[in-house]
Structure 1
Amino acid sequence: MHRPPTAEAEVAEELAAVRPGLVPRYSAELPGARAAVLTRLWRALTHEPFPWLTDRTAGPDEVTLRLADGRRLRGPRPDPYATTAYVTAVRLDDVSYDDPARLMTDLVVPHATDFAAELGHSVASLALSRAGQDQPRPTGWPREDWEWEQRVVDGHPYHPGCRARPGFSVAEQLAYGPEHRPLVRLGLLPVTAGECLVTGVWPDELLDGGRLLLPVHPWQAEHVLKRTCDTGLDARPLMSLRTLAVPDGGPHVKTALSARLTSSVRDISGYSIRLSATLSEFARTLAARLDGLLHVTRTLGAATAHSPDLAAVLRESPQAHVTPGSGERVVPVAALPATGLPDSPAWLAEFARLALTVGLRLLDLGVALEAHGQNLLVVLSPAGAPLRLVYRDLADIRVSPARLARHGIPVPELTGRIVTDDETTLRRKLFGSLVAGALAGTAGSAAALGGALESAVRELPRTPDLTALREQPLPAKALTLMRLSPGTPGDQWTALPNPLR
C-alpha cells in the first residue's frame, strides 16, 4: 500500500530547493527531534486523563499503560518536569516506536490521525529549527531584549506540538521563525478609521489622514487577507512568532496570525481589543501594590477592523522597565536556560522565591496571571541576580471581583471569560502557568523544581493559596488531551505529582 510522504520527507524536499546546504544538518537533527517530541508525548500519555487508557502501572524504571482494547504501552518512568529528551523509544505490545507520529497513528484512538500529522510537523520543524543553528550563535549578554527570544530553539518545553507549524512552508519558517533570526517586513494596511474599533492611543506614525495603518504579518497578508501592502515596518519576531519587536526601542507589535501554532489559531478577538486599555491600566495600578517587584508592560493602542483576522496590539517593550545605565537585562523566563543561570540551585531558589511572592500576592489581591515562560520576564542584575519581574500580554489573565472587594480594590469594568471567583479556576491559571510551566521549565527536573520550591515557600506568608500549592497535586493543562478533543472548548486539566510532597 502506498503511504503518503511524511512531514520529515516533505520538509527535506522543500529544504533541498531553498537551502540545499542545510539538508545534511537537518537530517542529522531528526533523531534528536523525534526523541524530544516523543518525550513530551510520553509525559502526556502517562499523566493526562485519556478515556481510552484504563490503567497505569508504575515500576521502578518503567510504566505500563493499558488501553481499553487490551493493548499495553510501555516506556521509561517519566519525570513530568524534565526538559531533556530522555525517551528514545516506547513499546506498543511487541513493537518498538521511536517516531511519535507513527505511534499516535497506530494507537488508533479518536482524532489520532490529525494529531499524528501535527506531531510529524512538530518533529520536522524542530529538526529544521535546530539545523538552522548552523551559524555560530551569539554569546554573552544581548543588547536588545528580543535577542534572548531568538535563543529559544525548541519551543514549548512540554507540548508535543512544540514546533508544529502546519501551513508554513520551509521558506516561510526560515523567513519568520525567531530561532532563524530574521528581520521581518510587516505590512501596513490602510483601513478607514470609522471602520475600526480602537482602544488606547493609536500612534501618529501609524495614521494616514482618516485611515489607520494596521500592522499585518506577511504570512497573514498572503494566505488569509490575500492582500499586498504598499508600505511596511521592519521588526524582529519574538517567541510567539506573531508578536514582533520594532528595533531601537520601538514597541512590540502583536499581529493576527490565523494559523495553528502549537495549539491555537492565533487571531485577535474583538473582545480582547475592547478590554485591552482597561486591563492595561488596571494591571499597572495593581502591580504598584507589590513594592516594585512587578512591572506590567503598557498597552499603547489596540485596533481591529472588526475581524479577528485583521487586528493588532501595540505594547511597550519590556526594556522600558530596565534602569538605564545600570547594566540590568530583562530576559523572558523561557530563555533563562540559555543564560546558564539555572545551573545554580541557590539561583533557582532565589528566582522561585521572587516569582511565587509576586504570583501569590497578586492572586490574593484578585488577579491570576498566565505566567508562562513567554509572558513572564525577569530583570537580572549585571551579576545575574533576579531583581524583579515584568509581565506582558494580559489577554488570558483571570480577575476575581470578590477578592478585589475583600481588599477594597475597585472592580474594573470587565466582562466575559476573564472574570471569575472560582477558586479552582484562579489557582489553576496561576499554578499551571507559573509553577508547572515557567518554574518547572527553568528547573528542568522534578528534583530541581522541588528543591527550589521547598526553599522558596519557607519564607512566604501562609495563605490558603499557598496551602493549596503545598498540599494538593499540581495542576497543568492537559495539552495533548485538548488536541485530541477538538469538540471540547476551553482548557482541560490534569494533576501532576506535587514536587513539594
Structure 2
Amino acid sequence: MERVDLIPPPGGADAGAPEDVADLADAYAAAPLLNCLLREVARPLPGREGVYRLPGGDRLLRVRGSRRPTAPEVYTPRGWHRLDHTELVKLVAEELRRHTGLANHELPAEMADSRDAVAAVLAARARATPPEDPYLRSEQSLITGHPHHPAPKARGGGPVAGWLPYAPEAHARFPLVLLGLREDAVVEEGDTSALDALGEPPSGYRLLPAHPWQLDLTARDLAPAFADGRLIRLGTTACPVWPTAAIRTVYAPERDLFLKFSLDVRITNDVRRLWRHDLVRLRRTDAATSNAFTGGTAAWLTDRGYRTAGFAFEELAVLVRDGLRGHLLPGATPFLAAGLVEGFTGSPLDGATDPARWWEAYLRQMVPPVLGAFARHGVVVEAHLQNSLVACDTDGTPVQALFRDAEGVKLLPEVSRAAGWERLVYCLVVNHLVEVAGALAERHAGLDPWPAVRRELARHDLPEVAGLLTAPTLPAKTNLLLRWTGADGADARYRPLPNPLAGG
C-alpha cells in the first residue's frame, strides 16, 4: 500500500492523524491542487519519477505519491525547496500567468480559503462524534473533496462561524428553519407534499423550510418580505437533518427524505443556487431519467418537485428528493461512492477480502444502468462520485447502484450524442471508476483493476464502446484552467488523459 506523509491511511482522518493540524491541512489542500497542476499544465520529466517540468519551462516540481500527491518541492540553485501551501499557491499562480497570459486574483484567494476550511474541519472533527449510520459516515467523510479541483473546500471566504455549523465534514446536524410563505407568493411544481408534513403554518400561509446558512447569506434581501408579512418565522423542524457531501442537500432520516437548497456561495466551480432555468426543466428531465431506470435493480432518486417564493425564486427554492428506503434492496446498506475513495470507518472497500471479485460486482452494478440510460433513452446521467451510491449486502459485496441529481442530467438531442458521450465517459470513467479503482489498488498491491472494466464495457452493444476501449486518451475536465480563465462552471473543457483501458 502506498503511504504518503501527512495523508492519513485509508479510513480517513478518523483512522489517526498527526498532531499538527496545520501540516495536515496543508497536505489535504495540496493534494487536489497538485493533481490539477500535474494533469492540466505540468509535464513529466522523462526518467525522473515524480518530477515535472512546469509550463514556464525553467522550473522543476517534485512530488511524492501518485493518487494523492503531496510534499511538493521546487528546484532552486540551492537544491530542492519544500513548499508549504502558501508557497504552492503562489507558484501555481505564477505558472498559470505564464501559461495562459491571464491574471486571476480570485482563485488564489479561494485556494487559501479551501485550505483554511480544511483546517477548521479537522479541528471540529476532533471534537465531534461521527454518525452511527454507515451511510451518513460515508456522506460526511470528504475532507479532501473533489480530488482534481484547486479549491474543493472553499466556502466563499466568509467567517468559519458562518458555515462550520452546517459542514458535513465536521459531522454537523442541525434543524431547518421553518418559514410561513404567504399563499399568493407560492410558486411550486411537482409533488411537494412532504414539505407540508414538516409543520403547521397559520391560515393563508404555506410551509417553506429554509437552510439556516442560506437565510444568513440572504438576510438583507429578504428583510422587506419579513417586514411586510410575505414571510414569517415558524420555528425549526422537530428533528435535525444531516448535511450530505453536497453540503446544500440534507437528509432527514426520520422521514427518509432529501431536501436540496440554494446556497449563495461558490463551491468548486459554481455558485450553488437552484437556478430558475434548471428548476423549470426539472420535471421533464427527472421524468425522462426515472423512465430510463424503470425495470432494473439500479435506482434513481427522483427529484419530485420544488417550492419557492415568487419574489425570491432562486434564493428560497427547496427541492424535494426521494429518500433511500423505498429504493434499497432488502438488507442492503448504501454508501456514497466518493466516500469509498476518501475513506471512512466501516468502508466496504476496507473489508474486501477478495478485491477482484468485489470490483467485478461493483462494475456490474454501476456500469450497465448508466450505459443503458444513454443507449436506450438518450439520457446522460452524471454518474460522478458524489452522485453515485453503491449498496452492499451484509458481506460487503455490491448488489445495487443508486443515482441522483436531475439538475446535472443531459438529454439527447438537447446535447449532441458526441457531447453526451464525452460527458458520460468523463463522469463515469474518469471521475468515478478511475478513482475507485485507484483506491482499491492502493489497498491491494498487485491488483490490476482495468481488465475487469474492459470486460464489463465490452458486454454492452454501444457503437461508442469500441472506440472507448482503443482510444489512446480519455477526456479529463480541466478544473484549474476553467477557474483560472473565468469560464462558466457548466462549460466543461477537457484535456486528454492516458487511457488505462487501451492496449489490454
Measure the CA separation in 1 of the matches of 2:319 and 2:438.
33
What is the root-mean-square deviation of aligned Cα atoms in Å? 2.8
Letter in 2 for 1:151: S
Aligned partner of residue 318 in structure 1, secondary structure: coil
Choose the corresponding residue for 1:166, options 146, 153, 156. 156
Letter in 2 for 1:118: E
Deviations 1:282-324 (A, max 9, x none): 22221015x32x111122321232432221101111232124x
Choose the corresponding residue for 2:22, options 26, 30, 34. 30
Letter in 2 for 1:285: N
Instruction: Return the offset for 1:143.
Output: 4.0
Measure the CA separation in 1 of the matches of 2:110 and 2:162.
17
Q: Is the 8 A contact 1:319 1:330 kept in 2?
A: no
TM-score w.r.t. the length of structure 2 is 0.80
Matches within 5 A, 1:165-314: 165-203=155-193, 204-205=196-197, 208=201, 209-226=203-220, 227=223, 229-233=233-237, 234-289=240-295, 291-292=296-297, 294-306=298-310, 307-314=313-320
Q: Is the 8 A contact 1:360 1:466 kept in 2?
A: no
Choose the corresponding residue for 1:354, options 365, 377, 391. 365
Q: Is the 8 A contact 2:285 2:411 kept in 1?
A: no
Instruction: Return the offset for 1:493.
Output: 1.6
Determine whether 1:329 maps to 2:328.
no
Measure the CA separation in 1 of the matches of 2:236 and 2:488.
39
Instruction: Return the offset for 1:173.
Output: 3.7
Cα distance, 1:152–1:38 mapped onto 2, change above 3 Å: closer
Q: Is the 8 A contact 1:378 1:388 kept in 2?
A: yes
Deviations 1:144-181 (A, max 9, x none): 74343123333222223122113442223431101222
Aligned partner of residue 303 in structure 1, secondary structure: strand
Measure the CA separation in 2 of the matches of 1:428 and 1:479.
16
Instruction: Return the offset for 1:347.
Output: 1.2
1:115 is matched with 107
Instruction: Return the offset for 1:235.
Output: 1.4
Q: Is the 8 A contact 1:63 1:77 kept in 2?
A: no
Q: Is the 8 A contact 2:301 2:324 kept in 1?
A: yes
Instruction: Return the offset for 1:484.
Output: 0.4
1:60 is matched with 48
Letter in 2 for 1:40: P
Aligned partner of residue 40 in structure 1, secondary structure: helix
Q: Is the 8 A contact 1:38 1:100 kept in 2?
A: yes
Instruction: Return the offset for 1:432.
Output: 1.4
After superposing the two structures, state which structure 1 stretch, 247-256 or 349-358, moved more. 349-358
Measure the CA separation in 1 of the matches of 2:356 and 2:103.
42
Measure the CA separation in 1 of the matches of 2:255 and 2:488.
41
After superposing the two structures, state which structure 1 stretch, 384-393 or 177-186, moved more. 177-186
1:91 is matched with 74
1:371 is matched with 383
Measure the CA separation in 2 of the matches of 1:500 and 1:486.
32
Deviations 1:447-479 (A, max 9, x none): 679932321331422522222332221212111
Determine whether 1:391 maps to 2:391.
no
Query: Mind listing any 5+ residue stretches in structure 1 that lack a counterpart?
Result: 1-24, 402-418
Instruction: Return the offset for 1:255.
Output: 0.7
Instruction: Return the offset for 1:345.
Output: 3.6
Cα distance, 1:271–1:263 mapped onto 2, change above 3 Å: same
After superposing the two structures, state which structure 1 stretch, 103-112 or 114-123, moved more. 103-112
Aligned partner of residue 197 in structure 2, secondary structure: helix
1:461 is matched with 460
Q: Is the 8 A contact 1:322 1:328 kept in 2?
A: yes
Q: Is the 8 A contact 2:256 2:325 kept in 1?
A: no
Cα distance, 1:164–1:270 mapped onto 2, change above 3 Å: same
TM-score w.r.t. the length of structure 1 is 0.80
After superposing the two structures, state which structure 1 stretch, 123-132 or 219-228, moved more. 219-228
Letter in 2 for 1:341: P
2:10 is matched with none
Aligned partner of residue 373 in structure 2, secondary structure: helix
- Residue identity over aligned pairs, in percent, reads 25
Aligned partner of residue 435 in structure 2, secondary structure: helix
Measure the CA separation in 2 of the matches of 1:37 and 1:196.
42
Cα distance, 1:389–1:278 mapped onto 2, change above 3 Å: same
Q: Is the 8 A contact 1:216 1:256 kept in 2?
A: no
Choose the corresponding residue for 1:134, options 126, 140, 144. 126
Q: Is the 8 A contact 1:215 1:255 kept in 2?
A: no
Instruction: Return the offset for 1:93.
Output: 4.6
